[in-house]
């Protein structure tokens, strides 16, 4: 039950042939004419041409590339270039990369990805980070090669407990934790439940929302609140559905790779075409659209501790992403020791601001090690 087994991605060619066949027979959704469609890079709650959601022009372009130019084997090979393993924790298969630094005294660091991303989120920062860290990069339960989940309850808290067990199983008694997106929910909880071993928590979002009392806020803070409201109104449809009825859409996503691509693209479109397609392909090949969506449902229906976290916490906030107000973040996290806001980068900083992210991670844990 505690065995750690080597793993390699070896997708059968028949699965890729089936994917190509389905892409060749796609039926496009109808839509209203649009005067302007951008590449989806967010510079506000809604990019031009994306008001109704992911536009057909964008999806059709990526499907053409998916069918005629994209090479899954290239990215599968890039993943397989790093040591990968699986182990069973709390009845669930857990897939993870384990990349050791050449420095024996390097700090162990667990990195948690988000949705609709995967371990591919961190592929480009492995080499710079492994100069200072032993890296553990797990696939969230129900995501990619960890999926699907087979029972209820895989929320941020159960995942954090699994991560603590994973690090114990790997022999790390003192380690740091970083997370983005869904990883920014899991990582603070890891610091909460394993304080004897977690030296610090580093995230790219602190999802601390106003509690209704806006008295005393400056004009700049009120502008932040207005942006949060616009973001919630225009960009949270995927979260609302996955929190309440994740299985509804999962039937369509399990049957249509084009649907899987479009569902992923609202959040991933600011990254490269290859990154969008690699994640859509992974979710398709592992049939984890349903189980990854259930993470939102389980987390929405979980009981969350009312007390603030106490682990030393660092935030790296990027210009075109959710930016919390510090007063509300400190309400939820009582030991924020590092807070940096950058003038570039977005929700997927590993893709558009990896240099800033790596240096922030390095500086934060360098003070704690």
Q: How does DSSP classify residue 30?
A: P
Smallest Cα–Cα separation from 223: which of 44, 82, 362?
44
Supply 174's token pair: 């003192």
Place of tokens 């309440």: 244
Supply 132's token pair: 């200072």
Residue 105: is the preceding peptide bond cis (ω within 30°)? Answer: no
For residue 318, what are the β-bridge partners? none
The rounded distance, in Å, linking the Cα atoms of 208 and 214 is: 14
Smallest Cα–Cα separation from 206: which of 188, 220, 228?
188
Taking each helix axis from N to C terminus, what angle separates 257-268 and 273-286, rounded to the nearest 10 degrees?
Answer: 130
The rounded distance, in Å, linking the Cα atoms of 5 and 167 is: 15
Please list the active-site residues: 181, 296, 347
H or E element, residue 191: helix 182-193
Taking each helix axis from N to C terminus, what angle separates 289-300 and 273-286, rounded to the nearest 10 degrees?
Answer: 90
The rounded distance, in Å, linking the Cα atoms of 245 and 116 is: 17
Angle at 12 between CA 7 and CA 17, to 5 degrees: 145
List all residues 6 or more positions away from 305 whose beta carbon is below 8 Å from its beta carbon: 192
Q: How does DSSP classify residue 53?
A: S
Q: Using CB atoms within 10 A of its CB, is residue 319 exposed (0-12), middle (13-18) or buried (19+)?
A: middle
């Amino acid at each position: 039950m505690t065995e750690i087994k080597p793993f390699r991605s070896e997708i059968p060619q028949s699965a890729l042939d089936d994917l190509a066949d389905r892409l060749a027979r796609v039926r496009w959704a109808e839509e209203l004419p649009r005067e302007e469609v951008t590449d989806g890079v967010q510079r506000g709650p809604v990019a031009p041409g994306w008001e109704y959601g992911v536009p057909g022009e964008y999806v059709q372009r990526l499907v053409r590339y998916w069918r005629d130019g994209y090479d899954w084997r290239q990215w599968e090979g890039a993943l397989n270039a790093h040591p990968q393993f699986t182990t069973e924790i709390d009845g669930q298969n857990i897939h993870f990369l384990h990349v050791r630094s050449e420095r024996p005294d390097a700090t162990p660091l667990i990195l948690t990805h988000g949705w609709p991303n995967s371990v591919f989120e961190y592929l480009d920062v492995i080499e710079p980070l492994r100069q200072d860290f032993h890296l553990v990069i797990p696939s969230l339960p129900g995501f990619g090669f960890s999926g699907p989940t087979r029972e209820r309850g895989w929320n941020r808290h159960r995942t954090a407990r699994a991560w603590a067990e994973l690090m114990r199983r790997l022999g790390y008694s003192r380690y740091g934790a970083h997370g983005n997106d869904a990883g920014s929910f899991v990582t603070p909880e890891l610091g909460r439940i394993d304080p004897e071993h977690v030296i610090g928590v580093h995230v790219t979002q602190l999802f601390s929302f106003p509690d209704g009392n806006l008295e005393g806020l400056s004009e700049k803070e009120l502008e932040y609140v207005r942006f949060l409201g616009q973001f919630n109104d225009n960009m949270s449809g995927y979260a609302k559905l996955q929190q309440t009825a994740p299985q509804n859409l999962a039937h369509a996503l399990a049957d249509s790779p084009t649907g899987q691509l479009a569902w992923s693209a609202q959040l991933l479109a600011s990254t490269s075409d290859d990154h969008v397609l690699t994640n859509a392909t992974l979710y398709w090949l592992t049939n984890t659209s349903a189980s990854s969506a259930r993470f939102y449902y389980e987390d929405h229906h979980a009981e969350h501790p009312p007390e603030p976290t106490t682990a030393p916490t660092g935030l790296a906030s990027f210009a075109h992403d959710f930016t919390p107000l510090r007063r509300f973040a400190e309400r939820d996290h009582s030991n924020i020791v590092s807070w940096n806001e950058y003038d570039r980068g977005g929700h997927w900083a590993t893709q558009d601001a990896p240099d800033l992210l790596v240096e922030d991670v390095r500086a934060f844990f360098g003070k704690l090690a």
